Amino acid sequence: MQAGILTTEGLTVRFGGVCALDQFSFAVGEKEVVGLIGPNGAGKTTLLNTISGFLHPNEGRVSFAGQSLTSLQPHAIARLGIARMFQDMRLAGTLTILENLLLACPHQLEESMCGLFLTPRKSRAEQKANAIKALELLASLGLAKERGETVRHLSYGQQKLVSIACCLARDARVLLLDEPVAGVAPRMRDQILDLIRDLPGRGKSVLLVEHDIDAVRRTCDRVIFLDSGRKVSEGSAEAVLADRRVLDSYLS
Amino acid sequence: MIFGDTPRALSPGEVSPGLWVWGARITTTQCTSLVISLVLLGATHGLLLKTRFGKQLRASANDPELAWICGIERDRIMLWVFVLGSSLGGVAGILAALEVGMSPAMGMSALMGGVVVTVLGGRNSLVGLWIGALIVGATQNLAGWWIGSQWKDGITFALLILLLVFRPQGLFGHKPHSVSVRQ
Amino acid sequence: MTDYLLSVAILLALYVTLSVSLNLLAGYSGLISLAQATLFGIGAYASAILAVRFGVDLTLAFLVAVGATIVFALAVALLSVRVRDDYFVVATFGFQAVVVSVFTNSVRLTGGPMGIKGIPKPTLLGWDASSNWALLLLACILAVASIAVEWRMGRSAFGRAMRACRDDEVFAQSLGKNVGRTRVVAFVIAACMAAMAGSLYAYYVTFIDPASFTLTEAILILAMVIIGGAGSIWGPVLGAGLLVALPEALRAFGLPTLAAGNLRQIVYGVLLVLFVAFRPEGILGAEAGLKKGDR
């Protein structure tokens, strides 16, 4: 088994007759950005779903920092320190941008009845601290002015940003990002890619699913090429993108 | 107010002795009701499966967005669905009234029986409807016979709850994809 | 005249409590439940049975009512987790039908369709709470407490979590929210409110029968929430005020009681349809409390 903070071993996921993931084993190391590329239907999102607990694998294991994730509920996995971004936009639509970010903050005493009614002052203090953090994050993404906007009234690009912001606000050790720059304007795209590039410096690891090859080249330490549920190629970005098999089935 | 609170009867005309079938007596009214029901069910079945309208309806139910892109006007179809559904309900009401009389609230329990049948038979399956209806009708009356007719409703709904928890797709429906993420 | 106003006031206070309790479920959590009137009924029956057979103090009656109701509320909460979203309403409909069936048919326990009569007036820790004024006071305290709880919950991180679970369950889970537990908590608190309201109701009217806790009642409470504004703090209060005051106004116009009852249903039905069609967020709701967020 490969070493790393997030590993899968022999992961197999089947839907009826279709094998979405086939004996897939890989590892994401500490402070590393790993890119995952492959044609549509290759199993990339299935992999993210399985890691984050929304799908149960037919075979194989997922481990995070030595702990097995396979039987855990999605919310428990999120609490362990894995943050997930969704390809189809998922946000709390009737809440504001700020509220969505506050939702994402990991420390929330006020979410339990005890915290809410028995220790109101401590909970309130925590909420204030969360709010400050959230506002800083929004400012760094240029969303500070819009923080009171209801999320479902936002444009696609803005919603995407909020999505990424929520991931960042989680303070997680591993981030699973599903096409973070798809459909985003160029300047914002650069900003997001720089942000991703900074994450290992802050002690975090990233598994990045993308179709944007340039984005992958800019941000990833390692790249894995996935096709029909199988790992076809793995290595540095240059190596994988020059690989004959990748070129044949994906790039040309 | 207009029609009054008390239940009323709907008379089919003069009483006739009816038929003997397998040791039970079936009145002419019941026969007529049965025939009319079967004809209407068959017609609806045909409408849904064979006509263009039926296909559009099923497409719209299956994937509203895609159907809309293909030019199917969902609103117009939904309008007709309601018209048809309500009409069928109306006919059912008349047939029921011939049997048990009418009262303002008679629709409720019939409706809920209908919901149970829909869930049992599976939302997408027409064969399921037929079989579901038979099963629900039989269960209701058998249960009423064995346990006491005052528990008929309670049993029907307990069955409904069990179905919703353990087998929401009913007998013939497709297994719904779980709340989890779509691909 | 005072007696009449008093009775309206008590009913208003009880309905405020009920609609606030349903708001926690249908408004904030997006769980449209037709079972709330039944939970109200379980609280009423529990207290009534206790009072008639043992003549207990109000505090004990409350405790037992709440305990019994929580058990059933947990059953409904379980349904919300195990049953698909679209079918949840249907499941709660089934649930309330089963419970009403039990109310109507368990003659030895609940008096069957005849109900329970002669419920004695309560005492509260020795203090004689038998006068209608005392009951009004208790009902008002309950209503205010319910609003206060709703206020604290709605504006907190927990309220945010409830709304997130309503808008997008999967997203909420990815942020570490335990959707099942959030819903169970909401159900339990709503059940406590409904149970205590049921208890007071039983003591006030001194005679209860299954007819007070049927689907019609459930839809009435739901109408209060929707019309007033689901998901807002004062919406259910406004809704309760409107829908309790309306039949009294109709009565003031001299319509015979029975007709007023049926006319009431027509008016509520029409109002409900109009609001859901043209203003689903209700009179007060700033956010569309019942619609899931667009994706």
Three-state SS at A187: helix
The answer for residues whose C-beta is within 8 angstroms of residue C254's C-beta and 6 or more apart is: none
Which pLDDT tens digit goes with each residue over B73-89? 878 888 888 898 889 88
**Do C28 and C186 form a contact (C-beta atoms < 8 A)?**
yes
Cβ–Cβ gap A54/B181 under 8 Å: yes
Quote the crossing angle between the two packed helices C2-22 and C235-252, to the nearest 10°. Answer: 150
Q: What is the ipTM of this complex?
A: 0.92
Whether B43 has a pLDDT exceeding 90, the answer reads no
Categorize the per-residue pLDDT at B7 as very low, low, confident or very high, splitting at 50, 70 and 90: low
The answer for residues whose C-beta is within 8 angstroms of residue B24's C-beta and 6 or more apart is: none
How do the pLDDT tens digits run along chain C, 295 residues long? 778 888 889 999 999 999 999 999 999 999 999 999 999 999 999 999 988 888 778 888 889 999 999 999 998 888 888 887 778 888 898 899 899 989 988 888 878 888 888 787 777 776 777 788 888 999 999 999 999 999 999 988 999 999 999 999 999 999 999 999 999 999 999 999 999 999 999 999 988 989 889 888 998 999 999 999 988 999 999 999 988 877 777 677 766 655 556 677 777 888 888 988 888 888 887 554 444 333 2
**pLDDT: which is higher, C81 or A21:** A21
Residues C136, C142: Cα–Cα separation, whole Å: 10
**Residue A158 host element (H or E):** helix A156-169
Token reading at B131:
């079989």
Residue C19, pLDDT score: 96
Residue B11, pLDDT score: 64
Range C162-184 burial, b when 16+ CB lie within 10 A, else e:
bbbbbbbbbbbbbbbbbbbebbb
Whether B1 has a pLDDT exceeding 50, the answer reads no
Three-state SS at B20: strand
What is the distance in angstroms between the Cα of C117 and the nearest Cα belonging to chain A? Answer: 38
Residue to mutate among A48, A73, A111, with most C CBs inside 10 A, is A111
Token reading at A179:
């096409």
Pair type for strands B24-26 and B19-21: antiparallel
Residues C253, C263: Cα–Cα separation, whole Å: 12
**Do A92 and A100 form a contact (C-beta atoms < 8 A)?**
yes
Tell me, yes or no, if B183 comes closer than 8 A to chain A by beta carbon: yes
Token reading at A94:
């009737």
Residue C260, pLDDT score: 59
**pLDDT: which is higher, A154 or A107:** A154
Report which of A196, C95, A193, C112 is spatially closest to residue B112, judged by C-alpha positions.
C95
Residues C286, A71: Cα–Cα separation, whole Å: 40
Residues B99, B33: Cα–Cα separation, whole Å: 9
Query: In A16-86, which residue ranges form alpha helices assigned H by DSSP?
Result: 44-51, 74-80
The answer for residues whose C-beta is within 8 angstroms of residue A164's C-beta and 6 or more apart is: A85, A141, A177, A180, A192, A195
**Do B60 and B77 form a contact (C-beta atoms < 8 A)?**
yes
Q: What is the DSSP letter of C120?
A: P
CB-CB neighbors (< 8 A) of A55 in chain B = 180-181
Q: What are the residue ranges spanned by the domains of chain B? A: 25-103, 107-173
Which pLDDT tens digit goes with each residue over B44-74? 888 888 888 888 888 887 777 888 888 888 7
Residues B130, C55: Cα–Cα separation, whole Å: 53
Residue C215, pLDDT score: 86
Q: What is the mean pLDDT of residues A227-242?
A: 88
> Nearest chain C Cα to B180, which residue?
C170
Residues B33, A118: Cα–Cα separation, whole Å: 65
Q: Which of A206-215, B18-27, B112-121, C91-100 has the lowest mean pLDDT?
A: B18-27
Residue C42, pLDDT score: 94
Tell me, yes or no, if B24 comes closer than 8 A to chain A by beta carbon: no
Amino acid at C263: L
Categorize the per-residue pLDDT at A164 as very low, low, confident or very high, splitting at 50, 70 and 90: very high
Residues A127, A124: Cα–Cα separation, whole Å: 5
Residues A183, A179: Cα–Cα separation, whole Å: 9
Which pLDDT tens digit goes with each residue over A116-133? 888 888 888 888 999 999
Categorize the per-residue pLDDT at B5 as very low, low, confident or very high, splitting at 50, 70 and 90: low
**pLDDT: which is higher, A136 or B125:** A136
Amino acid at A65: A
Q: Report DSSP letters for B116-181, one per residue.
A: HHHHHH-TT-HHHHHHHHHHHHHHHHHHHHHH-GGGHHHHHHHHHHHHHHH-TTTTTSPPPPPSSP
Range B74-100 burial, b when 16+ CB lie within 10 A, else e:
beebeeeeeeeeeeeeeebeebbbbee
Torsion over CA: B142, B147, B150, B155 (sign): negative
What is the distance in angstroms between the Cα of A139 and the nearest Cα belonging to chain C? Answer: 21
**Do A156 and A105 form a contact (C-beta atoms < 8 A)?**
no
Residues C6, B176: Cα–Cα separation, whole Å: 52
Residues B82, B74: Cα–Cα separation, whole Å: 12
Query: Which of C166, C167, C177 shows the shortest C-beta gap to A75?
Result: C177
**Residue A9 host element (H or E):** strand A6-15
Cβ–Cβ gap B161/C98 under 8 Å: yes
Residues A177, A98: Cα–Cα separation, whole Å: 21
Cβ–Cβ gap B119/C90 under 8 Å: yes
Torsion over CA: C130, C133, C139, C140 (sign): negative
What is the distance in angstroms between the Cα of C293 and the nearest Cα belonging to chain A? Answer: 4
Cβ–Cβ gap A55/B181 under 8 Å: yes
Residues C105, A87: Cα–Cα separation, whole Å: 53
CB-CB neighbors (< 8 A) of A103 in chain C = 157, 160-161, 164, 172, 175, 177
CB atoms within 10 A of CB A244: 8
**Do B99 and B34 form a contact (C-beta atoms < 8 A)?**
no
pTM here is 0.86
> Nearest chain A Cα to B181, which residue?
A54
Cβ–Cβ gap C262/B119 under 8 Å: no
CB atoms within 10 A of CB C271: 17
Query: Which of C82, C91, C101 shows the shortest C-beta gap to B153?
Result: C101
> Residue C251 phi/psi, 5° resolution?
-65, -40
Burial class of residue B168 in the structure, from the number of CB atoms within 10 Å of its CB (0-12 exposed, 13-18 middle, 19+ buried)? buried
Cβ–Cβ gap A45/B183 under 8 Å: yes
CB atoms within 10 A of CB A46: 24
Three-state SS at B4: coil
Interface partners of chain A (CB pairs < 8 Å, 3 or more) are B, C
Whether B4 has a pLDDT exceeding 70, the answer reads no
Q: Which of A31-40, B99-108, C270-279 has the lowest mean pLDDT?
A: B99-108
Report which of A228, A188, A169, A204 is spatially closest to residue A47, judged by C-alpha positions.
A228
Cβ–Cβ gap B165/C94 under 8 Å: no
Residue C288, pLDDT score: 44
Query: Which of B1, B153, B161 shows the shortest C-beta gap to C259?
Result: B1
Three-state SS at A12: strand
User: What is the three-state SS of C241-287?
Assistant: HHHHHHHHHHHHCCCCHHHHHHHHHHHHHHHHHHHHHHCCCCCCCCC
Residue C193, pLDDT score: 95
Residue B181, pLDDT score: 41
Q: Report DSSP letters for C202-244, one per residue.
A: HHHHSEE-GGGGSHHHHHHHHHHHHHH-TTSSSHHHHHHHHHH
Categorize the per-residue pLDDT at B125 as very low, low, confident or very high, splitting at 50, 70 and 90: confident
Report which of B110, B108, B59 is spatially closest to residue B81, judged by C-alpha positions.
B59
Residues C176, A75: Cα–Cα separation, whole Å: 4
